Amino acid sequence: MITIASAMQQEEIKNLLENYDGGDFTYTFKQKQGIKLAFDITGDKEEAAKKAKELIKEQPWGGVLYFQVAAV
């Protein structure tokens, strides 16, 4: 599982990761707790966390977004 803490763009993050089709990981939204979004993942959780961070930063809104990604 990975968690992403972000006060803004939560729906966009959720949609981005659930619709990711890179083949190496799948992200399934599990729950929201405060500003944290939790995702079940397939594959290596550390690599999935790195990829999620990379995907968010690639978005037009992601470059200025303050967020944290953690493998749990």
46: domain CATH number?
3.30.70
pLDDT digits (tens, 9 = 90+) for 45-62: 999 999 999 999 999 999
pLDDT of res. 31: 98
Confidence check: pLDDT of 22 > 90: no
What is the number of structural domains in the chain? 1
Do residues 16 and 25 lie in contact, with contact meaning Cβ atoms separated by under 8 Å?
A: no
Confidence check: pLDDT of 40 > 90: yes
User: Which domain does 48 fall in, by range?
Assistant: 2-71
